Every structure is written in C-alpha cells, then in structure tokens.
Amino acid sequence: MSNLRLRGRRFGPGQFAIMAVVNRTPDSFYDRGRTFGFDAALAAVDEAVAGGADIVDIGGVKAGPGDDVGPAEEIQRVAGLVEAVRDRHPDLIISVDTWRAEVGEVVAKAGADLLNDTWGGVDPRLAEVAAEYGTGLVCAHAGRVEPRTRPHRIAYDDIVADVISLTVDLAERAVRAGVARDSILIDPAHDFGKNTWHSLEVSRRLTEMTATGWPVLVAVSNKDFVGETLGGLPVDQRHAGTMATLAISAWQGARVFRVHDAASARQALATVTHLRRHP
C-alpha cells in the first residue's frame, strides 16, 4: 500500500486520518444549516481540530437535490472560510467538497490542500486544477450520474467491480494530468448513485478496493444506508451504526474517514489500531 501525502504530512499504511465535515449550507441533511453562518462554521472547524481532525472538508453545496447553487454562490460560501481557516490553523489540511473546476481554482488559491470531487469526475478540468496548484484530489464513484441527483432503480452487474474500475481510472487520469500520485485518494462514495444494498456490498468488500494500493477514503457518516439498515432510523440516531461501519472499513484498510463527529471517530479508530496490534 502506498503513502498518502497532504500538506507535508505523511499517512502510511495502517495510519488513519480523520476528515471532519463542515458545511456552509442552509440545508445540509445532517445539521440543517447549523454551520451555515460564517462564525458558526469557523467554530465548527475549531471544534473538529480539538476533537482530533487531521483534515477539515468544507462544502458549499448540499449533496442531495435542493435549491440551485451556482459557482459564484458556492465560491462566496467557501473561499473566505478557507482563507480564515488557513490563517487560524496553519498546519491543518483543508479540503473543499466541490465538483467544479472554477471553484477548485479559487479555493486552491485561498489555501485548500485537497479537492474532494464526490461526483466522480463530471468536470475533468478539476484534475487539471489540482495539478496546476499542487493540491490533492479525491476520485469518487457516483454511478456516472449528474451531481445532486438520485437515480431511480440504478443497477450494476457488480457494484464493487464498477467502483474500482471507475475510481482507479479517474486516479490514473489525474496522474497523467500532473497530480502527484501520492496525493490522490479513491472513494466508493456510499449512497451516491447507489441504493442501500450497493452501499452495504461495498462496505463488506472494501478489501478489494484497498488492495488496489490507492489510499481509500470512506464517507459513511450518518448516511441513509446506515439508517435503512437499522430499520429506518432518522439521521440523529445513526451514530452507533456509523461508528460500526467506520471500524469495519478501517479493519479492511481504509485510510481517511469523513465524519461529522471527529472525536468519536478518533476513539473508534484508536480502538481498531490497538486491536490490530494486540491480538
């Protein structure tokens, strides 16, 4: 397995990185706009860092369907926050959740270290931006769907094979575009272009993805597949299921974990580390 390097930090095989979510959106499925305000978002970053986050992932557009947010509005929501976080936490790895190259360029100039493309390369120029500004890149599998859509009855011959094929192809394309190989992650993107069965199958077979050698990011925190698996639990009751899925993912070799509760994730992953070292 390869090393992951972001902002001068090295995460080797067996080392875990916590990526905390901070959304500057008024309609996030999880916090319902709690961190939409600038000061609230900055405070959330401080809390995540105190809880052990290595990376903070800043987003300006809700993942699911909702009001249209154009590039200018997305930039307005995230660029100033990136600048403020960089000034406040000089050593923190800052990620921005965007699929748009024009947004990626602005936030890279503002101090972002990683571009988190959760929609699977719909704008191939984003990899070019990452190469030009020396940022990392997340290559995700979203089922080849349009951003912010939920496809009806999506199907795959083999979901894991499809995930691996697409994410590895995107990663290799990024390398050819000039992105540093050791700053690229692949992400199965649970629930993106997938139903609950697909997300569970990816979780069960994550070792097939980690066996590619690319560092794997998992973003399962409080997602719908967790709630549906546990009998239809609402978002605020999915914490235990989230921690269980994180632990299973870590045991199978995932390296970066995108979460809403950095402190709990840090404890869960520390437990996995000790279990693996002391059988």
Question: What three-state secondary structure class fits 17?
Answer: strand
Does pTM surpass 0.85?
yes
Given the DSSP bridges, would you call strands 55-59 and 17-23 parallel, antiparallel or unpaired? parallel
- The string of pLDDT tens digits covering residues 58-74 is 999 999 999 999 999 99
> What percentage of the chain exceeds 70 in pLDDT?
99
Average pLDDT over residues 231-259: 97
Average pLDDT over residues 83-91: 98
Residue 10: burial class (beta carbons within 10 Å; 0-12, 13-18, 19+): exposed
Domains and CATH numbers, the chain: 16-277 (3.20.20.20)
- The string of pLDDT tens digits covering residues 124-169 is 999 999 999 999 999 999 999 999 998 889 999 999 999 999 999 9
To the nearest whole number, what is the mean pLDDT of the chain?
A: 96
Residue 255: burial class (beta carbons within 10 Å; 0-12, 13-18, 19+): buried
Strand partners, 216: 186
**Could you tell me if 3 and 182 are in contact, meaning their C-beta atoms sit under 8 angstroms apart?**
yes
The answer, yes or no, to whether residue 279 has pLDDT greater than 60, is no
The answer, yes or no, to whether residue 255 has pLDDT greater than 60, is yes
Q: Quick one: how far is CA 132 from the chain centroid?
A: 21
Q: Quick one: how far is CA 259 from the chain centroid?
A: 8
